[in-house]
Structure 1
Amino acid sequence: MNNQQHDLAQSLLSSACEIAEQAGDLINSIYQQGDYQSEWKSDSTPVTSADYAAHHFLLEQLEKLTPDIPVLSEEHAAIPLEKRAHWSRYWLVDPLDGTQEFVSGSGDFATELALVENNQPVLGVVYGPVVGKRYSAVKGHGASLRFQGKELPIHSSHYATAPERIRVATSRVQNPALLQAILSGDFRYHLQPLGSASLKSCLVAEGLADCYIRIGPTGEWDTGAPQIILQEAGGDLFDLQLQALSYNQRESLENPNFISLGDASLPWHEILKRNH
């Protein structure tokens, strides 16, 4: 990222945080009132009127903030690669990450947005309105957490030696057998169930989990903001072969299964059986 790009991302961070918080608070007000409609998408995942309300709010606010930067949102993703391929910079947005958690009433949902430069996230914000946490990062400036009125830098865990148990953040609905098929039996694990995918990745960035393994469909909007937050906290996000994810380089915006990890010095090639 050159100096001009660097300055732009940094200059947009404060506004991006404010917009994400406003969108999350809008979702939370709908959540608290319980007055929303839901339906099923073609991929058998739920979408609600709260998703759409947050989408329209984010689209409006980001277009005001940066009229020359296009927005790619989960709720408006049917943009062909032929058009997207010309974007050197764009906003990547998930208005409501964790819609199933929203519907189930767990409160584990978040709003996330990322600024992508030359196919890599360089700014990210993840805001969980019910848990009251806002994570943010800009490339080269570290990652931070705002919680209970305080903003503090965050760092993923770094061990002098391997931990006795590897703390694995996982979905509440994840089939444990799928994890067992991927995780080597040579290590001990402690599973930490949670909702939103982005909040689980940020749990790793905060140092409260060692990894988050996602098995199942996600989109690029699910990983853009968490990836830069993880990287700036000292961790990273890869597919299960420990290869980098791509952004805006394929017709499909679907991600492979992935892992958010906090300490790159741990023997992940041995921990993940699929890499043997």
Structure 2
Amino acid sequence: MKRVMESAALAAGRAIMAIHSAGPDVHYKPDSSPVTEADEEAERVILEALARHFPKIPVVAEEAVAAGQMPDISGGLFFLVDPLDGTKEFVAGRNEFTVNIALVEAGVPIAGIVYAPALAIGFIAVDGHAERFTVADGRTLSNRQGIGCRGRGEALTAVASRSHNTPETARFLDDHGIDACTAIGSSLKFCLVAEGLADVYPRFSRTMEWDTAAGDAVLRAAGGETRTLDGSTLIYGKRRQLHDTDFANPNFIASGAGWCGAATPVTK
């Protein structure tokens, strides 16, 4: 599993960087979110790899779902794929976009990889162990090191979305006495908490399961957790929701070890 996820993510990263160098052609989905040929080519590469090695495991992939392709996940084991998380960062010429592949079992992300090809770094979680690695020439992994969330200290640091920050996020930081906050794109926010560089990632704007599953897998393997505002653990495979679309997430707080206020609702 680990080898296949790494190989697929790196291949998708090479496809993305080839288009990044040439300049992406941007168009828009019905929900007005941007999509590029890099999203589509990276997804094709990942789907081919997963189908070749795991033909019996269904795959929920962002662009395929947007095109109306919804696999049967009733068996409880499935992949979630976001081939290019942070498309807005990609289009804007920033380097914080990532390739995300996660394996979900019974609603829990049990394995995942987050690869940032423009930064040549990645994070992977398999069998309850989280690692950070670097990549040379888009092909060779090196400098593997285990990572873990840090314990809660007196001074707290948060990470927040660069493109989707909200007044609720500002209120959360104020309510919890958090002065230091780093804005960064894509699922790298989960990874900063997972490697002990931040304490909490509050999210009060829309995400989909493919946006979060891989980073969440890394965070959980590193000793962290992701909870909704009522204190429940964030689950995956959400279908037929009464107040939202399939695979849409509620607001959540992702946090490291020792965070006591992770699920505290924002003051209205």
Is 1:261 aligned to 2:255, yes or no? yes
* Counterpart residue number, 1:4: none
What per-residue deviation string (whole Å, max 9, x for no partner) do you get for residues 191-239 of structure 1? 101111x111111101111111222111111121112211111111122
Per the normalisation by structure 2, the TM-score is 0.88
Partner of residue 222 from structure 2, selected from 233, 236, 249? 233
The 1:90/1:150 distance shift into structure 2, 3 A limit, reads same
What per-residue deviation string (whole Å, max 9, x for no partner) do you get for residues 45-76 of structure 1? 11111100111111111101111111110111
* Counterpart residue number, 1:155: 148
Partner of residue 203 from structure 2, selected from 214, 228, 231? 214
Map of 1:92-171 to 2, 5 A cutoff? 92-140=80-128, 142-147=129-134, 149-159=142-152, 162-164=153-155, 166-171=156-161
Secondary structure of 1:87's aligned partner: coil
**1:103 corresponds to which letter in structure 2?**
V
* Counterpart residue number, 2:179: 189
Runs of at least 5 residues in structure 2 that lack an aligned partner in the other structure = 136-141, 241-245
1:182 deviates by: 2.9
* Counterpart residue number, 1:31: 20
**Structure 1 outlier segments of 4+, above 6 Å:** none
The 1:67/1:273 distance shift into structure 2, 3 A limit, reads closer
Secondary structure of 2:125's aligned partner: strand
Secondary structure of 1:43's aligned partner: coil
Is 1:274 aligned to 2:266, yes or no? yes
1:85 deviates by: 4.3
Secondary structure of 1:204's aligned partner: helix
1:26 deviates by: 1.2
Task: Name the structure with the higher helix share.
Answer: 1
- Aligned-residue identity in percent: 36
Paired with 2:20 and 2:100, the residues of 1 have a C-alpha distance of 17
* Counterpart residue number, 1:73: 61
Paired with 1:180 and 1:147, the residues of 2 have a C-alpha distance of 33
Paired with 1:111 and 1:155, the residues of 2 have a C-alpha distance of 21
Instruction: Identify the range of structure 1 (175-184 vs 146-155) with the bigger mean alpha-carbon deviation.
Output: 175-184
What is the number of residues matched between the two proteins? 255
1:42 deviates by: 1.5
1:177 deviates by: 2.6
Q: Is the 8 A contact 2:130 2:147 kept in 1?
A: yes
* Counterpart residue number, 1:6: none
1:130 deviates by: 1.0
Secondary structure of 1:75's aligned partner: helix
Q: Is the 8 A contact 1:133 1:147 kept in 2?
A: yes
Paired with 1:204 and 1:184, the residues of 2 have a C-alpha distance of 19
Paired with 2:127 and 2:217, the residues of 1 have a C-alpha distance of 7
Paired with 2:160 and 2:238, the residues of 1 have a C-alpha distance of 28
1:273 deviates by: 4.5
What per-residue deviation string (whole Å, max 9, x for no partner) do you get for residues 145-165 of structure 1? 002620000011113xx322x
What per-residue deviation string (whole Å, max 9, x for no partner) do you get for residues 117-159 of structure 1? 222211101100011111001133x100002620000011113
